[in-house]
Structure 1
Amino acid sequence: GGEGRGVRAPVCILNVGGTRYAFPRDAIKDFPLRRVSRLHGCSSEKEVLEVCDDYDRERNEFFFDRHSEAFVFIMLYVKSGKLRFVPRMCELSFYNEMVYWGLESSHLEFCCQRRLDDRMSDSYTCFSEEDLRGDEEARGGSSSATWLERMRRTFEEPTSSVAAQILASVSVVFVIVSMVVLCASTLPDWETAKNRTALMMTLRSASPQVIEAVCIGWFTAECIVRFLVSKDKCEFLRRPLNVIDLLAIAPYYASALASAVTGESPQLQRAGVTLRALRMMRIFWLIKLARHFLGLQSLGLTLRRCYREMVMLLVFVGVAMAIFGALAQLLEHGLDLETRNDDYASIPAACWWVIISMTTVGYGDMYPITMPGRVLGGLCVVSGIVLLALPITFIYHSFVQCYHELRLRTARYHRSLSTEFLN
């Protein structure tokens, strides 16, 4: 190699923690490790030093101050396609080496993936590969990329900076105001009270329509900015919270468009039910609070991780409803008895009683009147308590883990926020 020529020698040497590996120059072009393959595109020694820790031009040797034994196992993955943990090495330390060389948790064997997940859960640690790559790119990227990353964190991470906290507080205020106006507008005496009190006279000048328009304008501007600064536009549109934002904003514009097209014509009267339904979809704005409250984020993450347990819970309830519903319809209505309970005239009607009994709600709108039916009702209640309690234990532990993971992530942002404030 030579000055300003980067990796151009026929053979290049990787020195990882004192262990040397020699490769042909063409071999590193499509090397499975991203950090090594980046060496091929370096055109100057400055760019080479951004990838490795040191560089010897005469021998074309690249020095990496990393764990040599971990790199041995990573090289075994390059050769055989199987990546496993180093014995007697911390899983998180090995995962840190993987991320440095450009590998992800999905490259691990399934058994090692489970070990890594358990280790992260036990230590309440949740490091996202996307966040790690984003931090690395923000440190080594251009000023425009750094500015976009800061803007993205300001809108996506409410605790990442002072500006993000102020923006989140304003957004919460708009959500609360819009919900208060939505709830107050459904009161029967809203118009009467607006004419009687001085406070409502003040509110008349700022009518609910104006307040609604201001809130929608804020939410629309926020959504557009977050879309523009996002890294992956398609991924942005697939995220559940962003879909909810669109569902909460779109009905307002649909209602305004329908009103502008139909005016006061009879078509508007026929579309009144649809427009009212669309306006009620603004209640989805409350889910926007999940961006700013740790509890709601923990709930969403728990539901995403425990979908198998949720499906299992629904299967338990469905099977119990079918069995107890059929038996209740038979005992209360199907048998040729003198007393027939018309509330149990069909199995679907009996299933309603089953689900209310299993969840111990007990509305009292339906209840068995025969002795066999009451015995069946007692069995139904006890079975419901047992069946619902079995998957709940797994869901509870997952919620605790998710809560601690998100709290640790928030604490990391708080530390950076404190540093920013002091500076």
Structure 2
Amino acid sequence: MRSTRTVKFVNTKTTTTTTTTNNNDSRVVLNVGGMRFETQRATLKKLPATRLSKLTPQLSFYDPVLNEYFFDRHPGVFSQILNYYRTGKLHYPTNVCGPLFEDELLYWGIQREEVEPCCWMTYTKHRSTQETLQTLDSLELETVRSTTNDLIKKFDWENDFHLITSGHLPIYKRIRMIIWQLFEEPRSSTTAKIIAFISIIFILLSITTFVLRTLSIFEITEYDFVYVYIDDNTTEQTPVQNTQRRNTISGFDVIEWACNSWFIFEIILRFVVAPSKRVFCVSILNWIDFLGTFLFFFTYVLYNVFNYTGHYASLDLLSTIRVARMFKLINLHPRLKIITTTITYSSTLLNLSIFFCILVILIAGSSLYYVERLSNPSDSQIISVIDGVWLALTTITTLGFGDIVPKSLLGMILGAITTIFGVLIIDLPMPIVNEMFDNFNRHLLARQQLPKQRRRITPAVIPRKIKPFVPSNGHAHQHHS
């Protein structure tokens, strides 16, 4: 939120004199970046405690020959600042960048909150850009291979005794950094790319196997023989298909074992070489990887060691978490990271949309129930508020299963209105999310085109005021003699 501050301009009415000297002293010439500005001293006194209100000939940037003050600053911004002294209104020049404008205001001693409301949105646009750039920096999307110094800081080994005394780390720590780079920075080397490719193959193979083994053509049908009475004294065995157990061909088990062996090897090795065990343990992707691997071994031991004969579907439902391993591919491409970052930064807006969506569903569901009940209760398919909420949910989300429909005219009209509200609630936040994604994507493309290293500019040295040498009377007498 913008904070406002009132600036009080000093009334500088002066008495008019008839002498030419006083008239010239009331005018001041300012040379800013090679462009000369001329104004009244009384104008500069309107804003006390600023740089221009304290101009004296004793300052180092005063030129007595040209009778002007020289400032090596931006002349375009200064024209707006000088206009602020004259009119009391500070406008933002659109031909300069926001940080440059702020630096100029800081130099001249003017608060940035004094910018006029008409220019405030344009002026503060650079702050959102800076936040976007800081977010991209935190994601490390451009980091292909971390330097040795970056790795030492990441592992918190700056104060390592061996590093301080000999200049290099012990062998086991160097091996730990190398292994970490191979698994966490897939673009850092050819070996890291090969490991990333192997990991992708195992992830896709595991998910494909999980999907294919549910097809009936790969299932092995099991039958249980039960005794059936033919008559009072005769029984015979009759095969009955066992629908509780679903076995597949053994080839899928071999593939699952190979994939999960790689996953367990990868997660253990990454945990051992992780710079921070706490950060590793709180990562959602690591939890997905761990649970997917754990459930595989858990179900295998349960069925093959303890010979569990219960229902398979409940455990198979938990095993679907292995499909979430696809999220691990996010670390392999910058655009995928941008998508997740966009959703994270849009969480406030999305949560608000979900809240209003639930509110509309409850209101519409209750209204549909009572409208149908008042119109034709005998023919109504909405027999409870729960049915009305279900109808409102399928209507707002535009699913429209058709299992429950309104029968009365008022119910149909209310259903149409509910559809319109659903479209508005669901579609309105999407352009904002798309704009945020486009903002991240455009800045990422611009950052990739910038040079990796730039020339450093040393700060300018402020010159000091040098007094001209004036010989004393005694020396002057000796010189003339």
TM over 0.5: yes
SS at match of 1:155: helix
Residue equivalent to 1:221: 265
- Aligned counterpart in structure 2 of residue 331 of structure 1, from 361, 371, 395: 371
Unaligned runs of 5+ in 2: 1-98, 105-123, 159-167, 222-247, 454-481
Q: 2:130 aligns with which of 119, 125, 135?
A: 119
Matched, 1:322 2:362: yes
Relative to 1, partners in 2 of residues 1:399 and 1:147: Cα closer, same or farther, differing over 3 Å? farther
Q: How does 1:64-103 map to 2 (within 5 A)?
A: 88-89=102-103
Deviation at residue 171 of structure 1 after TM alignment: 0.9
SS in structure 1 of the partner of residue 400 of structure 2 = coil
- Give the aligned partner of residue 348 of structure 2: 308
Q: Are residues 89 and 251 of structure 1, via their aligned partners in 2, closer, same or farther at CA, if it must alter by over 3 Å?
A: farther
Aligned length: 292
**What do residues 115-140 of structure 1 show as CA deviations (whole Å, max 9, x unaligned)?**
6553242x6972129999x7544378
Deviations 1:218-242 (A, max 9, x none): 1111111211221110111111111
* Structure 1 stretch displaced more, 269-278 or 400-409: 400-409
Partners of 1:125 and 1:408 in 2: CA distance: 14
Please give the root-mean-square deviation of Cα atoms over the aligned residues, in Å: 3.7
Q: Tell me how far apart the structure 2 counterparts of residues 225 and 391 of structure 1 sit (CA, whole Å).
A: 42
Amino acid at match of 1:169: F
Deviations 1:343-364 (A, max 9, x none): x112222112112211222222
- C-alpha spacing 1:261/1:364, structure 2 compared with 1 (3 Å): same
Alignment-derived partner of residue 321 in structure 2: 281
- Quote the Cα distance in structure 2 between the aligned partners of 1:220 and 1:376: 55
Q: Determine if the alignment matches structure 1 residue 235 to structure 2 residue 279.
A: yes
- Pick aligned residue for 2:211 from 161, 177, 183: 183
CA contact (8 A) 2:180 2:270 kept: yes
Give how far 1:187 is off: 0.8
SS of the residue corresponding to residue 225 of structure 1 reads helix
Residue identity opposite 1:127 in structure 2: D
Deviation at 1:163, TM superposition (A): 2.1
Matched, 1:168 2:196: yes
Query: Is 1:128 matched up with 2:138?
Result: yes
Contact 1:325 1:347 in 2 (8 A): yes
Q: Deviations over 1:22-79 (max 9, x none)?
A: xxxxxxxxxxxxxxxxxxxxxxxxxxxxxxxxxxxxxxxxxxxxxxxxxxxxxxxxxx
Greater displacement, 244-253 / 285-294: 285-294
* Partner residue, 2:302: 258
Offset at residue 192 of structure 1 (A): 7.2
How big is each residue's C-alpha offset from its partner over 1:266-317, in whole Å with a ceiling of 9 and x where there is no partner?
A: xx11263443334333222233322324444333222222221121011110
The separation in 1 between residues aligned to 2:198 and 2:427, in whole angstroms, is 40
Distance 1:233 1:114 in 2: 39
Q: 1:89 to 1:164 in 2, by over 3 A?
A: farther
Structure 2 CA distance, aligned partners of 1:259 and 1:252?
11
Bigger proportion of residues as helix: 1
Q: Is the 8 A contact 1:178 1:212 kept in 2?
A: yes
Contact 1:237 1:243 (8 Å CA) reproduced: yes
1:119 partner letter:
Q
For the 8 Å contact 1:290–1:296, the answer to whether it is kept is yes
- Distance in 1 between the 2:268 and 2:324 partners? 18
Deviations 1:193-249 (CA, angstroms, capped at 9, x unpaired) = 9xxxxxxxxx96x71111100100111111112112211101111111111111211
Quick one: which of 182, 186, 197 aligns to 1:158?
186
Partner in structure 2 of residue 138 of structure 1: 151
SS in 1 for 2:267: helix
Larger-Rg structure: 2
Q: Are 1:365 and 2:403 matched, yes or no?
A: yes
Report what 1:108 is aligned to: none
Q: For 1:361, what is the secondary structure of its paired residue?
A: coil
Q: Is the 8 A contact 1:302 1:395 kept in 2?
A: yes
- For the residues of structure 1 that align with 2:351 and 2:260, how far apart are their CA atoms? 36
Q: Which residue of 2 aligns with 1:31?
A: none
In the other structure, the counterpart of 2:430 is: 392
Question: Could you list the per-position Cα deviations for residues 310-338 of structure 1 after superposition, in whole angstroms to 9, with x for gaps in the alignment?
Answer: 21011110110011111111111x21536
Q: Does residue 1:341 correspond to 2:351, yes or no?
A: no
Relative contact order, higher structure (CA 8 A, sep 6+)? 1
Distance in structure 1 (CA, Å) of the matches to 2:347 and 2:407: 38
1:298 corresponding residue in structure 2: 338
Between the aligned residues of both structures, percent identity stands at 23
Q: Distance in 1 between matches of 2:430 and 2:186?
A: 31
